[in-house]
Amino acid sequence: MTKGESSLRPQCTVGKEGSLSGTGLHTGLAVSLTIKPAPPGTGIVFQRTDADGLPLIRADVSSIMETRRSTTLGRNGVQVKTVEHLLAAIWALGLDNVSIHLDGPEVPAFDGSALTFVETLLELGVKHQDIGVMTHTLSSPLCLALDDAYILALPTDGGLSFTYVAEFPHPLIGMQRFDLMLDPECFAREIAPARTFGFLEEVQELYANDLARGASLQNRMQIRWDANRGSQNQPQSQCRVRKKSCGTIKTG
C-alpha cells in the first residue's frame, strides 16, 4: 500500500464542554465522563480524575494494554477500559484534539453502541483550530485478514470506502458483509447504532474472567446458541458486522 495525495486541513476540537454519566460494561462501576476542548497538537487524551496525580493516557497504539472483549488503554499502571465506541465516534466526526476526563476505570456503555457519543459530540459542535494537520489518501487497495474475516479499504474520489466481512458459527448470524463510504453522516446513520452483542452461553465464562459485570439487556444484545431463525431474539440485520466495523474505525 502506498500513500496517495496529501493535503493540509485545520485541526479540529469540540466547540464546548459536555458531561455524561453511565455504567461500565465490564467493571459494572458508575462513571462520570466529561469531554473537553483541547489545544492543537494535543491529540485524544484520557485523564483519570480519580487516580493519584491525575494521570494522562494518550489514545494511541503505544497505550494499548488489552484487547480481550474490548480495548483497554493504560500508562504506568492506570487504565481506561472499553474506549472503542467513544474513539470511533471521535475519529469518524473528524476531531483531532479532545480531552476526556473520567472518574473511573471504564468508559460508560450506555446502550452498548456509539450512538450516545455521536449525539453528544454533534451537540458540542466542531471548532476549527489555527494549526493544520496533514491528511493522506490511499493510492492502492489495502486488505487485512484474520482467520475468517477480512477488511478491504479502497481508494475513492470521495473519501474512504470500507468493506467488512465476518462469519460467526451461529444460525442467526453466519457470514455477513457490510460496505460503506465512511463520512460523518454515514457513521452516525449506519454504524453508531450497532450494539454490543454476546452469547448467553458465555455469561458464566465472562463472569469468571471478571468481565461483563455491568452487562444487561439495556447495553448489549443477548443471543442464544439454540435460537432458530424464527426466534424473537433474532438480531437486527447486519448488526453484528456493523458493530465490528465500529471497532475497526476506532483504530483510524
pLDDT digits (tens, 9 = 90+) for 197-252: 555 556 556 555 555 555 554 545 444 444 444 333 334 444 554 445 545 554 44
Q: What is the DSSP letter of 195?
A: P
Give the pLDDT of residue 202: 63
**CATH code for the domain in which residue 215 is found:** 3.30.1700.10
CB 147 within 8 A of CB 37: no
CB 239 within 8 A of CB 166: no
CA pair distance 18, 34, nearest whole angstrom: 6
The domain of 16 spans: 3-134
1-10, 178-187, 223-232, 240-249: the lowest-pLDDT one: 223-232
Q: Do residues 8 and 105 share a domain?
A: yes
Rounded to two decimals, what is the model's pTM?
0.76
* 129 and 143 in a common domain: no
Specify whether the CB–CB gap between 86 and 111 falls below 8 A: no
User: What pLDDT, in 10s, does the model give residues 15-31?
Assistant: 999 999 998 886 888 99
Domains: count for the chain: 2
Same domain? 227 vs 155: yes
Q: What is the pLDDT of residues 110-168, one digit of tens each?
A: 887 889 999 999 999 999 999 999 887 778 888 888 776 667 777 777 666 777 776 66
Query: Do 115 and 151 reside in the same domain of the chain?
Result: no
Q: How far apart are CA 82 and CA 59, in angstroms?
A: 12
Looking at the fold, whether 107 and 150 belong to one and the same domain comes out as no
Same structural domain for residues 123 and 21?
yes
- Give the model confidence (pLDDT) of 27-54 as tens digits: 888 999 999 999 999 999 999 999 999 9
Beta strands in 156-250 (DSSP E): 160-168, 174-182, 197-199, 221-223
Residues 21 and 89 grouped into a single domain: yes
Last residue of a domain, one of 103, 134, 165: 134
Same domain for 155 and 100, yes or no, is no
Of the three residues 134, 151, 171, the one that is the final residue of a domain is 134
The three cell numbers locating residue 229: 431463525
Report the alpha-carbon distance of residue 173 to residue 151 in Å, rounded.
18
Query: Do 88 and 206 lie in a common domain?
Result: no
Q: What is the pLDDT of residue 129?
A: 97
What pLDDT, on a 0 to 100 scale, did the predictor assign at position 209?
A: 58
User: Is residue 101 located within the same domain as residue 170?
Assistant: no
210 and 167 fall within a common domain: yes
- What is the CATH number for 66? 3.30.230.20
Domain end marker among 79, 111, 134:
134
